[in-house]
Amino acid sequence: MLMGKRLLIVGAFLLLISCAPIQQEQTNEVEKDINVPKQQEDSQDQLDTSNENATVHGFYTALSQGNGNLAVRYLMPEKREIGNFTSQGITNYYGGLEGRVSIDRVEQAGVNVWRVIYSYKETGKERCTDIADVSLVQRGSQWLIGKILPQQVCKADDKVVQEAIPNSDTAVGKNIECQTAGRQKFQDKLFADGDIRYVFFYSPSLDTCLLERKDSGPGDAFAAKLYNMFTNEMLVHYSTGGTDFCEGAKATGVAPRAECTTSMEEFNTWKAALSE
């Protein structure tokens, strides 16, 4: 009887030893399965805010990936999940583009300010080119985005031609046509720290519709621009930030005919001339 118990104990011990490697192997496989997604997530959401250039490139690269969770981490904490800068909103819009964001050029435009030229394509529309001035602030060892000031919104590719000249026989009728066409393409936007307002009118001297865009905020920042509404060519520009942007747009051929004004009085003079 004693011999039988010993054999039973020895057998149970041998069974435990033989099962241990299998259990360890299974445990390792489970841990491997758990760790793989985390490693993939880390590689996709790698954040680099060590310098200004890295932050700007990182933010727009995240937009190109439709990765809102990563994009908002390049912003100052107080700017995150507010207005247009929500992780879900960024993911939904930029992730749903027919043609993802492509960074065309990034260059320093001032102290802690970088100018970004990038293009993208919404579903069913022409590919657009946008220009934005991105201001950065240093927080500890990180460089984070404090504000983004649009300088040009959706200039269509060169292949885009003027859609139409108003058909009405009267100036009043043409103005109405321009306003109707403008409201179909552009809407005023309200942000936490500013807004964008549009006005549309007919220009007899150019025989086409013009768009006046005014950007306000944050703080005292303000810019006014006149565009050909159909070709998106900038014709007149004013900004409290000076004429550097306008002169740069002329030099690079983005807006070769633009008038770079230094006051709203001068801007309105040009606007009145184009309205006659």
> Which domains, from first to last, does the chain contain?
48-158 (3.10.450.50), 161-276 (no CATH)
The amino acid sitting at 18 is S
Residues 6+ apart with CB under 8 A from 31: none
pTM attached to this predicted model: 0.47
Tens of pLDDT, residue by residue over 214-264, are 988 878 889 999 998 888 889 999 999 899 888 887 887 778 889 999 999
d(CA 260, CA 212): 15
User: Which stretches of the chain drop beneath a pLDDT of 50?
Assistant: 1-44, 158-164
Residues 6+ apart with CB under 8 A from 64: 94, 100, 101, 102, 103
Tens of pLDDT, residue by residue over 106-119, are 888 888 999 898 98
Q: What is the pLDDT of residue 155?
A: 64
Question: Could you give phi then psi for residue 62, rounded to 5 degrees?
Answer: -65, -40
Q: How far is CA 165 from CA 169, 221, 230, 241, 271, in A?
A: 11, 34, 9, 34, 19
The amino acid sitting at 183 is R
Of 103, 127, 125, 107, the C-alpha closest to 115 is: 107
